[in-house]
């Protein structure tokens, strides 16, 4: 990337060079320094090269030094907060869904009015409801600014233009990289000219003809990969020192682009622990400061609450590398995080977390001390204070927690920490416009400021620059690739201002106001890009999702070539480079150690279920103890709701015992029995999860009572029975597998035979008992290991709208919905299948073989261990997604 020689000559002659953007200004300063160094100079004056906004600010500073009395200058954060306060006090405040975003949009509309010299009376003449609201906000903003003696950025050029005679102005100003000037900018330059400043606007030179080609790709990913390979080939062959890649929609595809360019251009950076080196490419669309990991950890730590911390926040803090003791206590903190998830805790207090840090099985003394110090400071803070005081206290709270951690920070992390401290200083500067605010309000301001602040670690100029269209203004390259020039992306769709009348915007030719305006801008920008390199390639994808795309109308006349004609190298990507460099011996090892003859298998019926679903899951989870982390949900997860139903039915049938007694109960007696069953279930649930909130417990009690009442209506329709077993735990042995199982319920029928029931609150089907790999072999396992032959076995499905019995019985129908069949023959089939699965588990069979491909893997969670995603799996049809 290089700057035009004429601009550098003007900078060397002492002119003030004003650029359209920050990147061009930085490039010009770097190029100037490189030229001075190449000429043997060791010291040289810094050229006055500034973007437009910085030049206006420098003139404001000059006016202050001249002794002029000026209004107080509002910075970006202060101005946005004033707009937000104005909106909050307006009659429309209650109707605004996102007040900060609306304040930002109003600020942008105000700036647009002044930049394009739009008279308020013209706006009022065409005002609709939204515009009238905006004008009311603008009047209040202007009135408050004047009464407080403030002046925001939108009106500073006009204010300075009337006072240039009192300012020491440069002799000459050169403008570079401007596709167009706003009326406000043009008027300010005219005022400078009248004050004796020589103004020069460098125009984009006409583009040489015949140097640009276009090429198409099946999709966006292949387009970006081709651009990366093309740039790499030019640099490696020495055909170019600087290569530009320009995208009209860079911010939208930044993540995908960075992944592809890193894989193609810097594959070694993907290796764990790879040292940081000078990068060969740079992406201009900086992510927000809030996305930097160390800043994200700081914002998360400031959300810590003494009483209530969601498990997601607690887990993120426990796993954060940016708190005190994060390295030395990494394992016990990870174990604590896992334990909290397994217990089903969805909120944790700081005091409870401190107690759990004392557990000798996973001690975290450093974290416990940090939380104690944090608690002492937190309890002393006032409820409301000025933003500057909150800025200081936020730093103290983070210090108590040991942020940014004990390990040495990388260069990028150091820069992010420095940017964070500058952010806290900006928060303190809000004292000039803000009163006393609460802690949550201050943290909300800080979070929004971090989200609106672009942050990109500084680095040396790279030979490959990835830029947006505006950022490429004024830059020159040896070769340029313009990506994404399809008919949907270029020209961009209109994006008119939401508060100014649309007809007025189109009449005055405001940016983004109409398709014609966007086409004209795109035409000028395309001509400028054509003039910025001797070799230009324009590309586009042929499809986006399910839509076919055509070429942009601005490149339809360019000659089209094939990708092979571009000379892009087909170099190996990261995975292929690994494969080519390795020396390895491959062999299949689908077996683990066999089970000993006296071993008990944990997992009960899951031994057979997991072995059928995927042998690796059975081995990893039931032999190795591997387990995917839990993710507690708001409210009760399906598993706990099912356990509550089990507990309620166990208690109910413990009291009632038989269908005859059920039918004899009066309405009042039944209601009381159901109430006792629901209360018993809630008590059992609270033993597992801890105290439930009162309102939540009441809702769950009502759910249980209603569900059981509807279910018992079905139980009344059955032939007589007596419940003889409830949650019956027993030990079984089958084909050398010893395990403990629990049968939900056993009913004794009139003929003395017994029916095995399994409660289900989600999906269930007799088809899950079929085949050599039955997906739900629980009931068949109970039946084949039962003492004697049962009369039948069935699912008892307790799900509103889908209640009923589903199962198989021999020579009778003990419940509606069950089928009659040859149970003895089915028992023989099930025994053979289960013995086969038992033998495989006992032998240590552990191959990765999901029964139904990706459908089976979705319910597992062990894919990081088995790496099944690297294999080709068949796609399974979607099924009803229910909690079982």
CA geometry: angle 627, 777, 858, nearest 5 deg: 40
Measured CA to CA, the distance from residue 300 to residue 310 in angstroms comes to: 11
Q: Is pLDDT of 877 > 60?
A: no
Cβ 721 vs Cβ 663: under 8 Å: no
What's the whole-model pTM score? 0.78
Domain presence at residue 621 = no
Tokens of 621: 């989870």
Measured CA to CA, the distance from residue 510 to residue 118 in angstroms comes to: 10
| Stretch among 73-87, 218-232, 850-864 having the lowest mean pLDDT | 850-864
Could you tell me the residue range of the domain that residue 336 belongs to?
Answer: 289-452
List C-alpha distances in Å: 353 to 6, 364, 751: 65, 10, 57
User: pLDDT confidence of 172, banded at 50, 70, 90?
Assistant: very high
Domain presence at residue 341 = yes
Domain end marker among 421, 452, 483: 452
Residues 717 and 776 in one domain: yes
Residues 150 and 260 in one domain: no
Q: What is the CA radius of gyration of the chain?
A: 36
pLDDT at position 789, please?
85
**Residues in the chain, how many?**
884
User: pLDDT confidence of 509, banded at 50, 70, 90?
Assistant: very high
E-assigned strands of 393-485?
Answer: 437-438, 464-467, 475-476, 479-482
Cβ atoms within 10 Å, residue 41:
10
Residues 151 and 196 in one domain: no
Cβ 192 vs Cβ 517: under 8 Å: no
Helices (H), 509-596: 515-530, 574-581
Residues 444 and 493 in one domain: no
Residues 87 and 180 in one domain: no
List C-alpha distances in Å: 789 to 735, 755, 824, 859: 19, 10, 8, 33
Cβ 248 vs Cβ 469: under 8 Å: yes
The CATH number linked to 130 is: 1.10.10
The string of pLDDT tens digits covering residues 36-67 is 888 888 888 889 999 999 999 999 999 988 88
SS3 205: coil
Tokens of 321: 């590398």
Cβ 747 vs Cβ 755: under 8 Å: yes
Q: What is the largest CA-CA distance in the chain?
A: 114
Phi, psi of 622 (to 5 degrees): -95, -20
SS3 676: helix
SS3 733: strand
| Stretch among 170-179, 589-598, 793-802 having the lowest mean pLDDT | 589-598
Cβ 265 vs Cβ 280: under 8 Å: yes
Residues 689 and 818 in one domain: yes
User: pLDDT confidence of 338, banded at 50, 70, 90?
Assistant: confident
Which residue is associated with the tokens 């990708």?
563
Neighbouring-strand partners of residue 755: 747, 792
Residues 353 and 472 in one domain: no
Residues 294 and 404 in one domain: yes
DSSP tag of 869: G
The string of pLDDT tens digits covering residues 61-111 is 999 888 888 999 999 999 999 999 999 999 999 898 899 999 999 999 999
CA-nearest of 789, 778, 784, 791 to 827 is 784
- Give residue 330's Cα distance to chain centre: 24
Residues 360 and 400 in one domain: yes
SS3 356: helix
Domain presence at residue 184 = yes
For the chain, what is the domain count?
5
Stretch (H or E) spanning 863: helix 863-866
Measured CA to CA, the distance from residue 581 to residue 74 in angstroms comes to: 58
Tell me the torsion sign for CA atoms 294, 298, 304, 309. negative
User: pLDDT confidence of 154, banded at 50, 70, 90?
Assistant: very high
Measured CA to CA, the distance from residue 81 to residue 78 in angstroms comes to: 5
In terms of average pLDDT, the best of 97-101, 130-134, 866-870 is 130-134
Tokens of 672: 């009381």
Residues 318 and 430 in one domain: yes
Domain presence at residue 572 = no
DSSP tag of 693: P
pLDDT at position 620, please?
87
Cβ 850 vs Cβ 812: under 8 Å: no
Average pLDDT, the chain: 88
Q: Is pLDDT of 874 > 60?
A: no
Domain end marker among 547, 566, 585: 566
The string of pLDDT tens digits covering residues 613-654 is 999 888 888 888 888 777 666 667 778 888 899 999 999 999
Start-to-end Cα distance in the chain? 60
pLDDT at position 881, please?
36
DSSP tag of 288: B
Domain presence at residue 340 = yes
Measured CA to CA, the distance from residue 291 to residue 542 in angstroms comes to: 32
List C-alpha distances in Å: 261 to 184, 230, 287, 602: 40, 11, 16, 48
Alpha-carbon dihedral 638, 639, 641, 642, rounded to 10 degrees: 120
Tokens of 89: 């006090």
Domain presence at residue 578 = no
């Amino acid at each position: 990337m290089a700057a035009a020689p004429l601009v550098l000559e003007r900078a060397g002659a002492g002119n003030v060079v004003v650029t359209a953007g920050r990147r061009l200004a930085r490039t010009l300063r770097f190029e100037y320094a490189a030229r001075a160094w190449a000429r043997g100079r060791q010291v040289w004056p810094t050229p006055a090269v500034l973007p437009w906004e910085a030049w206006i600010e420098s003139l404001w500073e000059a006016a202050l030094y001249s002794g002029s009395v000026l209004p107080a200058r509002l910075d970006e954060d202060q101005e946005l907060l004033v707009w937000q306060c104005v909106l909050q006090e307006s009659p429309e405040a209650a109707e605004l869904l996102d007040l900060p975003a609306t304040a930002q949009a109003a600020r942008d509309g105000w700036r647009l009015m002044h930049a394009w010299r739009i008279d308020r009376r013209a706006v009022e003449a065409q005002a609709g409801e939204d515009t009238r609201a905006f004008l009311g906000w603008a009047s209040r903003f202007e009135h408050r600014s004047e009464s407080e003696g403030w002046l925001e950025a939108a009106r500073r050029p006009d204010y300075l233009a009337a006072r240039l005679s009192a300012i020491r102005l440069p002799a000459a100003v050169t403008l570079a990289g401007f596709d167009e000037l706003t009326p406000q900018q043009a008027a300010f330059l005219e005022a400078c000219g009248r004050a004796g400043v020589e103004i020069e606007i460098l125009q984009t030179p006409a583009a040489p003809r015949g140097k640009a080609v276009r090429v198409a790709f099946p999709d966006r990913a292949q387009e970006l990969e081709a651009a990366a390979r093309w740039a790499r080939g030019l640099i490696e062959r020495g055909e170019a020192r600087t290569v530009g890649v320009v995208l009209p929609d860079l911010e939208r595809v930044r993540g995908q682009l960075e992944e592809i360019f890193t894989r193609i251009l810097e594959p070694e950076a993907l290796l764990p622990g790879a040292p940081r080196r000078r990068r060969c490419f740079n992406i201009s669309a900086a992510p927000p400061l809030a996305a930097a990991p160390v800043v994200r950890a700081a914002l998360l730590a400031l959300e810590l609450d003494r009483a209530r911390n969601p498990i997601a926040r607690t887990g993120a803090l426990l796993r954060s590398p940016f708190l005190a003791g994060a390295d030395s206590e990494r394992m016990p903190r990870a174990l604590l995080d896992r334990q909290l998830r397994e217990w089903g805790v969805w909120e944790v207090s700081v005091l409870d977390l401190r107690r759990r840090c004392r557990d000798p099985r996973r001690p975290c003394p450093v974290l416990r001390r940090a939380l104690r110090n944090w608690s002492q400071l937190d309890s002393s803070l006032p409820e409301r204070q000025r933003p500057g005081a909150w800025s200081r206290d936020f730093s103290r709270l983070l210090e108590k927690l040991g942020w940014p951690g004990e390990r040495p920070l990388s260069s990028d992390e150091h820069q992010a920490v420095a940017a964070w401290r500058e952010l806290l200083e900006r928060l303190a500067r809000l004292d000039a416009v803000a009163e006393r605010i609460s802690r949550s309000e201050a943290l909300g301001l800080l979070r929004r400021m971090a989200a609106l602040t672009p942050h990109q670690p500084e680095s040396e100029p790279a030979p490959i620059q990835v830029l947006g269209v505006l950022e490429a203004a004024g830059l020159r390259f040896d070769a340029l690739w313009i990506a994404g020039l399809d008919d949907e992306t270029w020209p961009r769709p209109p994006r008119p201002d939401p508060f100014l009348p649309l007809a007025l915007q189109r009449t005055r030719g405001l940016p983004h106001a109409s398709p014609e305006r966007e086409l004209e801008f795109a035409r000028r920008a395309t001509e400028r890009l054509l003039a910025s390199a001797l070799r230009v390639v324009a590309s586009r994808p042929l499809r986006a999702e399910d839509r076919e795309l055509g070429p942009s109308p601005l490149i339809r006349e360019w000659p089209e070539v094939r990708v092979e004609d571009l000379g892009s190298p087909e170099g190996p990507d990261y995975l292929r480079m690994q494969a080519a460099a390795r020396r390895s011996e491959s062999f299949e090892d689908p077996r683990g150690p066999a089970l000993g003859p006296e071993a008990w298998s944990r997992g009960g019926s899951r031994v057979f279920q997991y072995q059928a679903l995927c042998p690796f899951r059975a081995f990893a989870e039931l032999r190795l103890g591997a387990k995917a982390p839990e993710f507690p949900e708001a409210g009760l997860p399906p598993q706990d709701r099912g356990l509550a139903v089990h507990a309620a039915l166990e208690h109910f049938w413990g009291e009632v015992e038989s269908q005859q007694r059920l039918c004899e109960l009066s309405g009042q007696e039944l209601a009381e029995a159901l109430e006792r069953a629901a209360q018993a279930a809630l008590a059992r649930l609270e033993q597992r999860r801890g105290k439930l909130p009162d309102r939540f417990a009441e809702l769950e009690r009502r759910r249980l009572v209603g569900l059981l009442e509807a279910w018992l209506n079905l139980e009344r329709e059955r032939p007589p029975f007596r419940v003889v077993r409830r949650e019956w735990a027993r030990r079984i042995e089958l084909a050398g597998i010893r395990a403990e199982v629990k049968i939900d319920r056993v009913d004794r029928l009139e003929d003395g035979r017994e029916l095995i029931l399994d409660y289900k609150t989600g999906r269930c089907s007799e088809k899950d008992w079929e085949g050599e790999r039955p997906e739900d072999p629980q009931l068949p396992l109970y039946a084949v290991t039962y003492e004697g032959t049962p009369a039948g076995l069935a699912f008892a499905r307790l799900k509103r709208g889908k209640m009923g019995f589903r199962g198989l019985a021999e020579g009778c129908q003990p419940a509606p919905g069950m089928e009659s069949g040859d149970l003895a023959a089915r028992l023989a089939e099930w025994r053979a299948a289960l013995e086969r699965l038992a033998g495989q588990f006992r032998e240590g069979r552990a191959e990765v073989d999901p029964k139904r491909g990706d459908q089976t893997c979705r319910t597992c969670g062990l894919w990081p261990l088995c790496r099944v995603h690297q294999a080709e799996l068949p796609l399974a049809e979607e099924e009803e997604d229910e909690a079982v």
